[in-house]
Structure 1
Amino acid sequence: MNTILGLVIEHRELLTTLRPRPAADVRELLEPAARMVLGVLSEPGDGVLGRAVAALGPVATADLLLGRCSPREFVERVGDAGEPVESKDADDGIKRWTPRIDEALFTRSIGQAARVGARFLIPGDAEWPAGLDQLGWHAPLGLWVRGRLDALAGGSRSIALVGARAATGYGEHVAGEASAGLSDRGFVVVSGGAYGIDGMAHRAALASDGTTVAFLAGGIDRFYPMGHESLLTRIASSNGAVLSEVPCGTAPTKWRFLERNRLIAAASDATVVLEAGLRSGSINTAGHASALGRPLGAVPGPVTSPASAGCHRLFREYDAVCVVDAAQMAELVVGSAPPTLDGLGTGWAGVAETPDGLRVLDELSTRTPRELGEIVQRSGVVSSRVMSVLGELEADGVVVRREGRWLRRRTA
């Protein structure tokens, strides 16, 4: 592989089939191709690479790596663009990425994606799940999709239902009832396609003619687990979608499962853990949801059941909300919506009518106080304007300041 432009020219026809809409111009394929290449070179959630992409853009970053740059050159280029990188981080990154520069591997991967009818979404596409952008430098470079492209786009309300693979009859019953009830209320049910709670959540949503989305830890050319190949095929061929950030041909590993969990949490408006042991991977998903300031719920179980010990831990350590049915789970999302203008002062209406005001409010959590710098980074609004907006919101009682951090008040 030499340059992204060269790859696009060589594989233009194939790359066009992988996009949601045909590309009229070669330039439209440069960014998608660059993100595909970077996905081959890196592991999910690589923050050093994410920082380079934020500074240089995906095309320049990919060309820099394909040119087998030195760590020093990487540091200088990224630093000059406004994102300082430590020399050790750059050195480690180059050692990770360079051995994966393999055009034959890239060609096989996109060829396999085309054979299974996959499409590739990137940030900025109309179908892109906007919640993923909150992951910042750790956001996915792109998403490979089989099924409905816009399942998580636009105004779709979604709730992640996750839990133990070795679920009990109690856990599966609650999961089935919750998924069906949420589907009936118009929610997209998000999960990980695994055995146990995940599988029951997907099946119940399908049985209710709802929309369900499965995030996988491996490539979507070969569904995993194999025992759920039929279920995942049904999801992709119905009103749902199967997604992954890793290229086709990538095997699921423990690390990729853990990184996959951040996508489930970020792509959903709320996360509910229905049954989980103390060391369950669902606790990891819950941790991501909490870190993102998303509503987190958990279903209680018998205190004598090891399968519910993780849920009880979430109540004590993560301030999870106790939920027992679909109605209470739906309230997690309804309660987390930005306050309406009703009953709030005219000062609030003025802030709400500005794009900056909405962007600042969107990045405030009702659960996790955030520092000014974090709000600036998340919202993309300059610090002086953020302070002005926060001052107005505080005067109207919409936000509170605690020890230099900001928290959005809960609303009825």
Structure 2
Amino acid sequence: MSGFTTDHLLADAEILAALRGIAPTSDFAETAARAAWSVLAEPGDGVAGALVSVHGASGALAAAFSDSVLLGVGDAASARALSEARGRWLPRANVRAVRDAVRGAREVGALLLVPGDALWPERLDDLGPHAPLALWVRGDAGALSDARAVAIVGARAATGYGEHMAAELAGDLAASGEVIVSGGAYGIDGAAHSAAVGSGGSTVAFMAGGVDRPYPAGHQRLFERIRNHGAIISEVPCGAAPTKWRFLARNRLIAAASTATVVVEAGWRSGSLNTAGHASALGRPLGAVPGPVTSAASAGCHRLLREYDAVCVTTAAEVRELCGDDTETAAPSARATPERTRLLDALSSRAARDTEELARRSGLSVDRVRAELGLLDLDGMVVREGHQWRRGT
């Protein structure tokens, strides 16, 4: 199809003008081609990824509708795969569709990131040919570029226990600098995002549809807060609907973008187990929060612990340990005793607590809590607010 090349895209004045407003790059040919690929290919399309990895996005676009097999392998299997892929791409090979995508992004203030951009989250490249070809971002486009991130995922139909655990973990982790990554859904996702924002930290929500129509609709106020304290990201263009397949494909981005993945609450066949599977396949640390053995809502977490070598985590400190956190070495006097560790676990970075409450939560005497708080205060690890204390940031 000779009418769908990078030259044709850049010859469209509206596409070029929109790209200048949404793309933090001067290589508009490659960016335009990747915008087109995000329109053409479904998330995780390995044939598109292989073609782009060999020929670049612009070259791959030219090759996609030519008579040549240019995957770099040239065998019958590759020829057959490319032929089938062309059949998928051809109905979407329309300059107008690309124009609508970039125009929609400009209208909502989204940015278009591509590999090689300074703000591109490089952890996603570990997905190989299934890595995203481009990312559409609303909010802080650099939210994932350098920071350590923890994915917190779980059931939509979460229990009060699950939402409480998700909020406790996300709030403490976000307050200490980790970016909380999730999918913006009801239940565990929403609790994690809300706690991260509430603690003054950063959070990122990966969408299954376009960033101009984040789903679910009932979370619009939360999505506004996420944009102000992080980012909403999708690999499908503006206007794309959040289909069931795209939710599953989106899960691989949540796992790949994160240093570690923690499943807080999940049923036996929960979609969160799909995210956990991607994390495991990528070699990312995987944690699961246990629940009551009689709770069907935690059956998936128990399955991860029993069958998939997930690590049991119950506190933010244990999640940091899962991530390989060695920040305690910066404060040797504050890491020496089990009592001090118990007190740190009892402290919250969001809510200040008095010494009696800390004693109850840690199982220490009030006098011992006061003594340990004094030492932690000297090391800058706690903050005093009147007669109450919270974990320092």
Superposition RMSD on alpha carbons, in Å? Answer: 1.6
In structure 1, distance between residues paired with 2:208 and 2:174: 24
Deviates more, 1:38-47 or 1:96-105: 96-105
| Structure 2: segments with no counterpart, 5+ residues | 328-393
Q: Does 1:78 align with 2:75?
A: no
In structure 2, the partner of 1:15 is: 19
In structure 1, distance between residues paired with 2:246 and 2:223: 18
In structure 1, distance between residues paired with 2:191 and 2:75: 44
Tell me how far 1:84 sits from its aligned partner.
8.4
1:315-354 superposed matches below 5 A: 315-334=305-324
Q: Secondary structure at the match of 1:190?
A: strand
In structure 1, distance between residues paired with 2:76 and 2:71: 7
Q: 1:83 to 1:33 in 2, by over 3 A?
A: farther
In structure 1, distance between residues paired with 2:193 and 2:96: 36
In structure 2, the partner of 1:309 is: 299
| Structure 1: segments with no counterpart, 5+ residues | 338-412
In structure 1, the partner of 2:190 is: 199
In structure 2, the partner of 1:239 is: 229
Tell me how far 1:6 sits from its aligned partner.
2.8
- Indicate if the aligned counterparts of 1:51 and 1:83 stay in contact, CA closer than 8 A: no
In structure 1, distance between residues paired with 2:199 and 2:325: 25
In structure 1, distance between residues paired with 2:322 and 2:190: 22
Q: What is the TM-score with the length of structure 2 in the denominator?
A: 0.80
Q: Secondary structure at the match of 2:150?
A: strand
Q: Secondary structure at the match of 1:164?
A: coil
Amino acid at match of 1:216: M
- Indicate if the aligned counterparts of 1:122 and 1:128 stay in contact, CA closer than 8 A: yes
In structure 2, the partner of 1:106 is: 98
- Indicate if the aligned counterparts of 2:4 and 2:93 stay in contact, CA closer than 8 A: no
In structure 2, distance between residues paired with 1:85 and 1:138: 18
- Indicate if the aligned counterparts of 1:78 and 1:85 stay in contact, CA closer than 8 A: no
In structure 2, the partner of 1:357 is: none
Q: What is the TM-score with the length of structure 1 in the denominator?
A: 0.76
| 1:311-336 alpha-carbon deviations (Å, 9 max, x no partner) | 00001111000000111111111259
Q: Secondary structure at the match of 1:293?
A: coil
Runs of 4+ in 1 over 4 A off after TM superposition: 82-85
Amino acid at match of 1:7: L
**Between the two proteins, what is the percent identity of the paired residues?**
56
Query: Over alpha carbons, which structure has the higher Rg?
Result: 2
In structure 2, distance between residues paired with 1:2 and 1:141: 18
- Indicate if the aligned counterparts of 2:172 and 2:316 stay in contact, CA closer than 8 A: yes
- Indicate if the aligned counterparts of 2:43 and 2:246 stay in contact, CA closer than 8 A: yes
1:96-135 superposed matches below 5 A: 96-135=88-127
Q: How many residues align?
A: 323
- Indicate if the aligned counterparts of 2:71 and 2:78 stay in contact, CA closer than 8 A: no
Q: 1:272 to 1:114 in 2, by over 3 A?
A: same
